[in-house]
Structure 1
């Protein structure tokens, strides 16, 4: 079974969008660490907390806050950016696969 260029391009777009959204959510969490008085359980902030907290909580146990600053969101911004670049960046694995399949069909 071979992958079609359209399916691979859909995969590339989907991965890029999901990883970009995760990066954006973690960037919001970085900003929210500056405002500890905000309740992350209410309103729109809950939409930011719910998808990110399952990754941030174990990271906080592994890497303690440095000087009172929570570095867990910074770590996850770096990790999601790295994974996005490795998979769907200009030289990413999925990008290269799309190019290879497209050139084989031409």
Structure 2
């Protein structure tokens, strides 16, 4: 928005100062939300359609639905949130870790 007003030229900004923090917060938040989903599976009486649980279910459910079609429950346990924690953790490490792609390329 600031660039649209002509105040700041985005070419002058270092991409690392924009991409890395936003991506780090997003991936960290998604990992945290999926960990909450894992804990909530231990309490089947929790209704995910009521507040505050809906705040956890809304961003995670669209990712869980397609994966549930591919990965059936093991012994009656839904492991799809665990898979997503692994995926987001791997992405965070590959992109933002000490030797991550964005770190090594200077972004």
TM-score > 0.5 by shorter chain: yes
Query: 1:93 aligns to what?
Result: 101
Q: Which secondary structure state, in structure 2, belongs to the residue aligned with residue 53 of structure 1? A: helix
Question: 1:38-77 counterparts in 2 under 5 A?
Answer: 38-77=46-85
Q: 1: distance between equivalents of 2:82 and 2:99? A: 24
Asked whether 1:14 is paired with 2:19, we answer no
Q: 1: distance between equivalents of 2:92 and 2:103? A: 11
| Residue correspondences, number | 97
Query: Quick check: 57-66 or 72-81, which moved more?
Result: 57-66
Runs of 4+ deviating beyond 6 Å: none
Which runs of 5 or more structure 2 residues have no equivalent in the other structure? Answer: 1-10
Deviation at 1:69, TM superposition (A): 0.6
With normalisation by structure 2, the TM-score equals: 0.85
Considering Cα pairs closer than 8 Å and 6+ residues apart, tell me whether 1 or 2 has the greater RCO. Answer: 1
Q: 2: distance between equivalents of 1:92 and 1:68? A: 36
Query: Quick check: 3-12 or 49-58, which moved more?
Result: 3-12
With normalisation by structure 1, the TM-score equals: 0.85
Q: 2: distance between equivalents of 1:27 and 1:53? A: 13
